[in-house]
Amino acid sequence: MVEVNCSSIYADSTYDPIAAIFKLYVNGDLMATDTPQRTDYDGYTWISTSTFTAAYSSSFTYQCGLTFGQPTDVQDLIIAMNSPTFNRNVSLTTPGECEANHSQ
C-alpha cells in the first residue's frame, strides 16, 4: 500500500467560504475523493489536507487532483455562487513527497 498526502494552502474569506476538493487518481482512474475541513493557516490563508491509501506498484502513476466547491454558509447574497474555475493535478511516479507550487 502507498499513502498519498494532498495538501493546499489558499486564500479565502471567512464568510462565503469555498472548500478544497481533493481527488486521487491511479493510472488516470479516479480512486477516491475527499473534501476535508480547512484550518486557519495564518489569519489570511487556509490549509486543507487529505490522505489517501491505495495499492502500490512501482509502475503505477499516482495523481493528486485539486478543485474547489461552491461557496457555503452564504452570508452575502451578492457573492457569486459558482465554483472557482480551478483544476490542478500533480503526478507522483514513485512514493515520497511531492509539492507543487502554482502561481497565477
Answer for the pair 40, 60: CB distance below 8 angstroms, yes or no.
no
Percentage of the chain exceeding pLDDT 70: 88
pTM: predicted TM-score of the whole model, two decimal places: 0.83
Answer for the pair 65, 100: CB distance below 8 angstroms, yes or no.
no
What is the reported pLDDT for 88?
93
Where are the domains positioned within the chain? 2-92
Comparing 24 with 76, the larger pLDDT belongs to 24
Maximum average pLDDT range among 35-49, 64-78, 88-102: 35-49
Dihedral of alpha carbons 38, 34, 67, 70, sign: negative
Average pLDDT, the chain: 86
Architecture of domain 2-92: Sandwich (2.60)
For residue 63, which amino acid is it?
Q
